[in-house]
Amino acid sequence: MPIVTDAGFAPDDLNARFSPSDDLPANGPLSIDVASDADLTPVLARLEEATAIRVAFPSSADGRGFTIARQLRRAGYTGRLRAEGHVIADQYAMARRSGFDEVEISDDLAARQPEDQWLARADWQAHDYQSRLGRRRDTKSAAASA
Amino acid sequence: MYHYTDFDRDFLAERNAQFRAQVERRLDGSLTEDEFKPLRLMNGIYLQLHAYMLRVAIPYGTLASGQMRTLAVLAEKWDKGYGHFTTRQNIQYNWPRLVDIPDMLDTLGEVGMHAIQTSGNTIRNVTADHFAGAAKDEIADPRPVAELLRQWSTDHPEFQFLPRKFKIAVTGSPNDRAVTRSHDIGLVMKEQDGEIGFEVIIGGGLGRTPMIGKTVRDFVPKADLLPYCEAIVSVYNRLGRRDNKYKARLKITVHENGIEEMRQRIEDRFAQLKPLFSGVDQVMLAGIEAQFALPAFTSNAPAPILDPVLQSFVDTNVTAHKRDDHAIVTISLKKHGETPGDATADQMRLMADLADAHAYGELRISHEQNVILPHVRRDALPVLFAALRSAGLGTANIGLASDIIACPGMDYCALATARSIPVAQEIAKRIDALRIEHEVGALKIKISGCINACGHHHVGHIGILGLDRAGVENYQITLGGDATETAAIGERAGPGFAYDQVVPAIERLILAYLDLRAGDEETFIDAFRRLGPAPFKAALYPQENQDAA
Ligand code: SF4
């Protein structure tokens, strides 16, 4: 299961056991799996304890995870944020711009879309209409500065 | 008009290079067909009945003459010599080859045009009043805001894989020519205490479940528009249904959750998003507004119009301009018997030349599938009309019964259940043969070739919906629809008609109206509202009346 970052493919260094967001253990620290249709309330309630959050993309046509990432960042989450599942190289820039740090893909997908196809999108900060229009990245301090 | 910056040009070049690579990666197997499909759609490419179709955006319907000439080049080089203007201010090429499309996109890119987000489950090409900047009745030109929305929505990282397509329309005039109430977001410009802002309407849409949009906020100041729109789409992206594509549009989300619940969620989200917008967008908007300054108008005193044929053209195809010495001229792409919205490469070039000669080089495409010269010197009208007429573009029928909106239907569209273009052609020919068009006056006939309603039949005074009944085309007629600020969904008149019966049925309807109206001044829709459907149904179904009698 390669992890994709701006530097390319790497093995998973997290060493985490993820718990589903609707069944979190009583004590932290927490590594949380968030489904694309999950209610975020239990996650938002325990963000302080979370060290890693993994948002599922059941299909590359399902864009809910991008909004979830931004919601988590606006709520103040600053830990590792990972998109996991059927995310294709063409969506890498979207994932990064939405606040994800990295993408976890299957070995099959990595074989079909090798590292160079992902690196081609590693310049996700370029050609970005959003930042050109002065929209800041989603963080708690930015969202609260009204 | 907006001029592309280096940023826009670089973005487009990069995007086109990405798409070129995506086509190659589809061919080498890196992308599966399921993965490739949304990518080609968000670049404007459909797979149609006979071939691929490329849908090119004409943002807010505005074109410079040079851009129109490029559209002609595409028609000639990669299509069969013509293009088809659509109800969402796009142009479609129905016969390109997939391998040629990257070259077509590069050619468009040279004149600041593209096909980005003209299809797919993304925020689509933003549409606007086709008379924007020229109309006498507008508060302000809505196009700078439409351009700002174009930039904001282009490649928006959060919104490229929405539950369903998402359409935004904006008008600067209280007289709604942009059909704002049948869009996912409709923006109607308002002035409040000297400040410009927008009434925001959400959840409108046609298709199989037609709905008139609801006002979610009476007044959103111009400065808050981007965060407010982002809040709407962000809420929709998580709340919209993904289990059933027919229930995935925002109109269903609004219907199922209620406007109050939606308003609450949107306002909460807006409060979070507003501080993320630094205000740079407003600086950019001011720069965009400056580019939409009116042309340096010049004119001579017009001579009185003596030619009755010219007079007839002026009566139907010319609209009052901001300035008395100028006029808005609508060029009909609805010559009786032709395909509504089609223009040949030669016609495109001629219109571009005429725009340069008499209209400061600017053209518009209307959602009614016609071409507009928004700023024409009144003294140039005779020369302009003569030139149009010689090219088959002088038809004086704007707003009349033969100015029909028709979707591509069975002739092109893979989803169609019936033909729509031939029905439009036959109705127009029949009306022309009867010589009653000018007597009948204002009448909107709109035709869709399936329940998806791309031909806007729900909001036609007379709507025609082509269906398939056990392998046979069957046409349902709706009455009383309205696409303007008094928007209404038409009601079904009764059982459908066979293909060869629908034109006579429309003829009976129109003749009945002429009998029923209170006077020459009472339009079809006014007579319908006064009398109700009964006398019109009686005209549609004479046999039944006899049976009942
Ligand atoms: S209404 Fe139906 S037939 Fe007509 S263009 Fe739309 S999908 Fe195709």
Q: Domain of B101: which CATH number?
A: 3.30.70
Consecutive H or E run containing B448: strand B445-448
Please report, in tens digits, the pLDDT of each residue of chain A (146 residues total). Answer: 899 999 999 999 998 999 999 999 999 899 999 999 999 999 999 999 999 999 999 999 999 999 999 999 999 999 999 999 999 999 999 999 999 999 999 999 999 999 999 999 999 999 999 999 999 999 998 888 65
φ/ψ (deg, to 5) at B273 = -85, -30
- The number of folded domains in chain A is 1
B223 & B180 share domain: yes
Residue (of B300, B299, B309, B328) closest to B136 by Cα position: B328
Query: What local confidence, expressed as pLDDT, does residue B300 receive?
Result: 82
Using DSSP's 3-state secondary structure scheme, residue A114 falls into coil
Å between B208 CA and nearest CA of chain A: 23
B370 & B422 share domain: no
Looking at the whole model, is its pTM more than 0.90? yes
The answer to whether the CB atoms of B25 and A117 lie below 8 A apart is: yes
B351 & B477 share domain: no
Q: Which tokens in the block code for residue B202? A: 């959400």
Taking the C-alpha atoms of residue A28 and residue A50, their distance in angstroms, rounded to an integer, is: 7
Ligand 1 atom with least separation from CA of B453: 1
List pLDDT tens digits, range B22-77. 999 999 999 999 999 999 999 999 987 777 899 999 999 999 999 999 999 999 99
CATH of the domain at B380: 3.30.70.3340
**Chain position carrying tokens 């092109």:** B412
CATH of the domain at A115: 3.40.50
B335 & B277 share domain: no
The answer to whether the CB atoms of A98 and B278 lie below 8 A apart is: no
The answer to whether the CB atoms of A113 and B30 lie below 8 A apart is: yes
Question: Does the pLDDT at position B544 exceed 70?
Answer: no
- The number of folded domains in chain B is 4
Residue (of B268, B341, B74) closest to A74 by Cα position: B268
Predicted confidence band at B87 (pLDDT cuts at 50, 70, 90)? Answer: confident
B473 & B506 share domain: yes
Question: Does the pLDDT at position B549 exceed 50?
Answer: no
Report the pLDDT averaged over residues B453-457: 94
B188 & B212 share domain: yes
Residue B303 lies in a domain: no
Q: Whose CA is nearest to atom 2 of ligand 1?
A: B450
**Residue-range definition of the domain harbouring residue A141:** 3-145
B152 & B284 share domain: yes
Q: Which tokens in the block code for residue B272? A: 């979070």
**Residue-range definition of the domain harbouring residue B10:** 6-61+69-109
Å between A30 CA and nearest CA of chain B: 24
